[in-house]
Amino acid sequence: EPVPSFDYVIFGATGDLTMRKLLPALCRRFAEGQIPADAQIIGTARSPLDDAAYRERGLKALREYVREDEFVDATVERFLGLVHYVSLNGADAEGNWAGLSARLDAAGSERVRVFYLATAPDLYGAIAQNINEKGLRTEQSRIVLEKPIGTDLATARMVNEGVGRHFPENSIYRIDHYLGKEAVQNVIALRFANPMLERLWDRESIEYVQITAAETVGLEGRGGYYDGSGALRDMIQNHLLQVLTVVAMERPSSLDADALRDEKVRVLTSLKPLDRNNLAANVARGQYVRGTTRGQAVPAYREELPDEAPSNTETFVALKAEIDNPRWQGVPFYLRSGKRMPEKLTEIVIQFRAGEPGLFGAARPGSRLVIRVQPNESVILPLFVKQPGSTFGLDEVDALSKLGEPGRIRFRDSYEGLMLDAVKGSPALFVRKDETEAAWAWVTPILQGWSEAANGPDAYAAGTWGPDSARELLARAGHQWVEDA
């Protein structure tokens, strides 16, 4: 159903994220009839463009990033009619705030205003300040902050404080697009709507958990950002820890935003610290060298960097996290993420404990419940059944549940739902300040440990599942990554 009319102001409107994700997401929501015809989408950036030139860029992006079968000329044209551009450096108090203000005032101050910050995060404080001091922040305003919120705990606090001086916390929406993924949200439904699973969800029944986010792409021309970041900051601090929190949290008292987020924070603050003293045993990092992905020879990470500079940035991380609470004591949560892996795959694997030797002979290996986040959102639960025709032979079958019928349900891109949640004022799937900071508090000592280490990342060939050290990490506990089992 349509949301009430709104003004959506995007800072960083000529950037990659806006073109690839934000405009396509809004366009699809418009096509689905959720965005009223008098809404305004106002891009701002430094480039001197007018509405027509910006729409031209928008159209090009939509052609590229909206699926062909969803791209309807007339609809896209109407959508672009809602799009405007104001040339403005958001961090500069002397910028063209009057231009932006005029656009917004024309629509009135009663409507919801969303300010979406997709610039470098060190500008967030200044942009928030300008929005506020130029009188653009209304009662019905919210500010959305893209990741990364800082590069370590200290800078994350600076960003949060900088924005927090000008917007109340309940109007600050920190986006993590993994929380917009259907299958991630589904973890909450699976766990708490199925008493059978809820009862099995603890150290008594679960031996370990694996959370993998593998990508086949390399740098994608983002070297400037990525080389200063690396996989730990780019994927683990936010996306994978967010997935971990929904897998591990206690049952929240309700599905309210704060009830949910309180439980998620408790998970993060219960993570056992990893630091220089135990890194070697618990964390593997890698950087890809030349190899082959999907039949294509690809260059090494260093060769993809603009100046082919030597770099110790990790393009792969695998680590063993442990949660120090009664439910999870002693259960490893293995997280890993990497570029140039053999496939694009995000999944959660819940490894149940093995049974005792019994009626059917040797002990049965424990089942693995797989929650596939992408591609092909699904839940897979293998079960042993009697082999047809035999007396008591066993077969393993997969009870498979697609989280929707292909062709019938279109999975929304993760940004679609979240961008409109910000309009509706529903923050449940956004990250609270204390959550971001708890995640950084856990990640920062790992970064520190690495910076003091004698060795850099281990090499792995592009197109493989990372360095040997990642396999050894599990082998030490007698465990295996899902693709090796």
Q: Which residues fall in the annotated binding site for NADP(+)?
A: 46, 147
- Judged by beta carbon, residue 72 or residue 217, the one nearer ligand BG6 is 217
- Judged by beta carbon, residue 240 or residue 438, the one nearer ligand BG6 is 240
CB of 65 to ligand BG6, least distance (A): 12
- Interface with ligand BG6 (CB under 6 A), residue total 5
Asked if residue 207 binds ligand BG6 (CB under 6 A), the reply is no
Asked if residue 215 binds ligand BG6 (CB under 6 A), the reply is yes
Residues of span 303-362 touching ligand BG6 by CB under 6 A: 346
Binding site, annotated residues for substrate: 177, 181, 215, 234, 339, 344
CB of 19 to ligand BG6, least distance (A): 15
Residues of span 136-195 touching ligand BG6 by CB under 6 A: 177
CB of 327 to ligand BG6, least distance (A): 28
Is residue 84 part of the annotated active site? The answer reads no
CB of 124 to ligand BG6, least distance (A): 17
CB of 400 to ligand BG6, least distance (A): 22
Which residue among the candidates 84, 166, 239, 479 is catalytic per the annotation?
A: 239
CB of 374 to ligand BG6, least distance (A): 6
Asked if residue 234 binds ligand BG6 (CB under 6 A), the reply is yes
Q: Can you give the three-state secondary structure of the chain, one letter per residue?
A: CCCCCEEEEEECCCCHHHHHHHHHHHHHHHHCCCCCCCCEEEEEECCCCCHHHHHHHHHHHHHHHCCHHHCCHHHHHHHHHCEEEEECCCCCCCCCHHHHHHHHHHHCCCCEEEEEECCCHHHHHHHHHHHHHCCCCCCCEEEEECCCCCCCHHHHHHHHHHHHCCCCHHHEEECCHHHHCHHHHHHHHHHHHCHHHHHHCCCCCEEEEEEEEECCCCCCCCHHHHCCCCHHHHHHHHHHHHHHHHHHCCCCCCCCHHHHHHHHHHHHHCECCCCCCCHHHHEEEEEEECEEECCEEECCHHHHCCCCCCCCCCCEEEEEEEECCCCCCCCEEEEEEECCCCCCEEEEEEEECCCCCECCECCCCCCEEEEEEECCCEEEEEEEEECCCCCCCEEEEEEEEECCCCCCCCCCCHHHHHHHHHHHCCCCCCECHHHHHHHHHHHHHHHHHHHHCCCCCEEEECCCCCCHHHHHHHHCCCCCCHHHC
- Judged by beta carbon, residue 26 or residue 236, the one nearer ligand BG6 is 236
Show the binding pattern over residues 401-440: x = contacts ligand BG6 (CB under 6 A), - = does not. -------------x--------------------------
- Judged by beta carbon, residue 151 or residue 346, the one nearer ligand BG6 is 346
Binding site, annotated residues: 46, 147, 177, 181, 215, 234, 339, 344
Q: Shortest Cβ contact with ligand BG6: which residue?
A: 234
- Judged by beta carbon, residue 164 or residue 299, the one nearer ligand BG6 is 299
Known catalytic residues?
239
Binding residues for ligand BG6, rule: CB under 6 A, are 177, 215, 234, 346, 414
